[in-house]
Amino acid sequence: MGRRNITHVSDFILMGLTDSEEIRLVLFTLFLLIYLITVLGNVGMILIIRLDPQLHTPMYFFLSHLSFLDLSYSSVITPKTLDNLLTSKKNISYLNCFSQMYFFVFLGATECFLLSSMAYDRYVAICNPLHYPVVMSTRRCCSLVFGSYLIGFMDTSVNVLCLTRLHFCNSKTIYHFFCDGPAILALSCTNTHDIEIIIFISAGSTLVVSLITISVSYVSILSTILKITSTSGKQKAFSTCASHLLGVTIFYGTMIFTYLKPSTSYSLGKDQVASVFYSIVIPMLNPLIYSLRNKEVKNAPNRVMKKKKDSK
């Protein structure tokens, strides 16, 4: 009975990013602006891809799912963060905390393998262009997307099942702005060594396997591009990969910095800055990266408007 009272925690307290009321107001305004741009950018990307027949290709099929993941990813974290920045009450229930963490890990792991699928798509398009329509069939694309979601589900199930076994005693203050795995591990009053190893292997496998797939794809792509004799041909081939490569570099850079290390090296300031970047900023950057560097996407709104005028 005593143990049950000690280990049961009904809610947590999210300490957030700062105690200063002035800074919190500035951050609220900044994060709200970023979130609005994220929603508009990703919803706009999904709608444009659906409405423009010229974008009904494997590359943009994956991109529409990336936009959906980014929109969901940001919506899991940002609204609660905005609420905490405005109010003095920073409580989050045990169920809501673990639900937030569940969907956060699920969407993050899914995005890793979706980015791998996009790299494979670019590999086939550049290295085997004649076989591209056959290899990247609708069935293959759907299978890759389904597989990404399935792996994300398996990864988050392992993480959350491990973390629900932790004992928190009387500790309930999370020194973070959302329910993140390392912050919750640091909160536990019991030995977390075995759980850390399981989570490290699970998260590490997700990052490493997807990163190896992307790396192998881009090594093959680079090798093929170097064999192209014309400068314009090289530029055209590289431009089809530049946006994806930039998005991958930003996403994996912050994820590896934050998660592929033991909890003993957990640094509140550095990890919070990295977390803000990949959970709030990157979902806003992706639609900008893929639209500003892509002529097809930039011209899509004009094609859609012209099509509507012609239909009238």
Domain membership flag for residue 312: no
Domain membership flag for residue 5: no
Domain membership flag for residue 101: yes
Domain membership flag for residue 119: yes
Query: Tell me, what CATH number does 107's domain have?
Result: 1.20.1070.10
pTM: 0.86
C-beta of residue 163 within 8 angstroms of C-beta of residue 185: yes
Written as tens digits, the pLDDT of the chain (312 aa) is 344 444 467 788 888 888 788 888 999 999 999 999 999 999 999 998 888 888 888 989 999 999 999 999 899 999 999 998 888 778 888 889 999 999 999 999 999 999 999 999 999 998 888 999 999 999 999 999 999 999 999 999 988 888 888 887 767 888 888 888 888 888 888 788 888 888 888 888 888 899 999 999 999 998 888 888 777 777 777 777 877 888 888 888 877 776 665 555 555 555 677 778 888 888 888 888 877 666 677 677 667 677 666 666
Domain membership flag for residue 4: no
C-beta of residue 104 within 8 angstroms of C-beta of residue 77: yes
Say how far apart CA 135 and CA 123 lie, in whole Å.
Answer: 11
Query: What is the domain extent for residue 229?
Result: 11-259+272-307
Domain membership flag for residue 288: yes
Domain membership flag for residue 279: yes
Domain membership flag for residue 6: no
Domain count, the chain: 1
